[in-house]
Amino acid sequence: MEKGKTFRSVLAAYFDTEEELVQIENALPLLNIYLPDLSIFSGININARTWDTAEEVPVAYSDRNDGTVLFFNGDSVQGLARDEVPGFPLLLVKGNERLHKKSSLTRGADAGYGDYAFIDPAFDGSLPKEIDGYLIYRV
């Protein structure tokens, strides 16, 4: 990505109007667009640094109920079971399972997350972790 650009500004270039993007943001406030690092699986060297996006950009949509559906050039081409790992890079589009949007009743002093909160403190990387009675602090 070009220096000084945000991911949102790059996305906005693909819409006819700013309002289209705002409508999606309002309808799906917890939408994630994620590039998984598949290099953690042996033999697969796929990550953001090695991906040549000039040729194709596969997209996968993950749903808690239906599994994952793969799209190429806007067309649904196949599905992946939850235990399958693709052998190619892709963008994963899904809802965020670790956050929820705060209601007006739950807003108050927050940790800088604005309108969102973690569903459980275990997901908040800014908090010290307690393991077997010892506190583990990030440095």
pLDDT in tens, the chain (139 residues): 678 888 889 889 889 999 999 999 888 888 888 877 777 766 667 777 777 777 777 787 776 666 788 887 777 888 887 777 777 778 888 888 888 888 755 445 444 457 888 888 888 888 877 665 555 555 5
Q: What angle do CA 46, 50, 98 make, to 5 degrees?
A: 55
**H or E stretch covering 33:** strand 31-34
Q: Whole-prediction pTM value?
A: 0.62
Measured distance CA(64)–CA(39) in Å, rounded: 24
For the chain, the structural domain boundaries read 98-139
Measured distance CA(38)–CA(80) in Å, rounded: 15
